[in-house]
Each structure stands twice: as C-alpha cells, then as structure tokens.
Structure 1
Amino acid sequence: MCRWKVFDEPPSKSFEIYGTTAIGRSRRHADLLFHLGEEDSPISRLHCTLLDEDDHFSIRDEDSSNGTSVNGKKLTPLQPVRLHDGDIVDIAPLERGGLRLMFQLARLDGEERQQEQEVRMTRPRNLMNPDEE
C-alpha cells in the first residue's frame, strides 16, 4: 500500500492506494480522477498508471499530452520508473495547471499487512475520486 499526498489543492490531501491504479480525468479510462470533466485540463483522460509490482511501486506515463515527471525528470512514455518514498510526481506541468503529488510508502504492522492483502483481493477498481469528496 502507498499514499499520495496532493500539494496543489489547499488544504493538501492524502489518500491511500491499494494496487495498480490508472490516473486521469475520465471515469471511462481511469480509476483515480483529477479535473473530472474539464476538457481544457492538462491532465489526459488516461494520464499515467501507478503499478503495484509486488515488492515496489512504479509509475508509467500513458503517452499523455503533457507528460509526467518524477523529481523533475520527464518520463519516457510507456516506460515504467520505480518510485521511492518521498518522490515528487508532477502530473502535467504545474504552470499549465497540472498537479504535484508526493509518493509515500505506507508503513504497515502485521495486522495491517494482512488486511491489505484481503483488500487487494476484493478492492473495487474506482478507488477514490477526490472531486466528489
């Protein structure tokens, strides 16, 4: 399990992610939605995907129009990059209205780890929509 901390929406929000999650602005294409329904948004319908790869998480830009960056380095489309605790991810450039997120690994004790495994097996595809909180 990991957490995303969103910096660009005062007050900042944190939310948990369980497993591979598509990120974008379209309910049809993504699990985690930002700028829902905004056609002029710099965030693509399917912008990037957070990949749960058993022992680590990676992020892959899905050939989005405005790109995804990790710690200031723009990702090559469709090439996953491993994420580390504290990495800063920009979903589209901030100056164009993109979002800045911090990737955080969740620290789990034994009971929480068991619960996470149970959630992974039964989790819904649409994990959270920050626009509807």
Structure 2
Amino acid sequence: MTDTVLFTGTATAVGGRNGHSQTSDGSVSVDLGMPKNGVLDAGKTTPEHLFATGYAACFGSAVEAVAHQKKIDVTGAAVTVAVSLVKGDSGYSLAAKISLKAPALTAQETKEVLEAAHQMCPYSKATRGNIPVELSVG
C-alpha cells in the first residue's frame, strides 16, 4: 500500500527563538521569545508551546479514536501536554509529559485509553525513542 499525504502544514521562522514564525496560509502567526529566568515577554510564545499545542490536539484525536474502537465515552476528556526544553551534558533536547483527564472513565479505563492513544498518535510515533515521554492519568 502506498502512503497518501492527507495534509501538509508549512511554516517559516525568521530570527530563531527570538523571531517570528508564520504558516504559509497565515492561520498561525506568532512572535517568539526565549524566557528569561522562567518569564516570557508578553505576547510571545516558544517552540515548546507550539509543539505542545499540536501534540495535545493530535493526542486528543487519538483518544477519541481509541474510545470509538472500545465503544466507551470520553466526553469532556482533556489532554494536557507539557514540552520542556532540557539542557544536559550532550546539549539541548526535549522531554514531554502527557496527562489525560476523562471524567466519564475510571482511573484504570483512563490509563488504558492513554496508553492505547500513545501507540496510535502520530506525534507519539514521531517522538518514540527520540525524547522521553511520561504518561499520567490527570
């Protein structure tokens, strides 16, 4: 079977972490900044925020797909993704934490959906083996 491209998002950044990034269709246009002492200038965002946003949305769709397969209710489910820029002995890297809160499910059911979604989500597939990803029931 041949892979079929369903959608391509394209963005251009000028000025790196202290510049501006915008998608080719203008749907996203952001000023970027590097936090100083943990504080980010007003009106700016970071690549980690943008990655976390995309990951959370994609993971949320995977949660819904798993719920559909299992015929369970995930109404009101919320996925929170925290992406960290980490500096270590070998330089900079990323780490992620994913939390799933599913009010209609038990903690065990939520854990099962979380783990199954992690196997299905394209962002999880892309990061698997490349960055540490911690899963938790929220």
- TM over 0.5, yes or no? no
TM score, norm. by length of structure 1: 0.28
Q: Structure 2-normalised TM-score?
A: 0.27
When Rg is computed on C-alpha atoms for both structures, the one with the higher figure is 2
Q: Which has the higher contact order (CA 8 A, sep 6+)?
A: 1
Decide which structure has greater helix share.
2
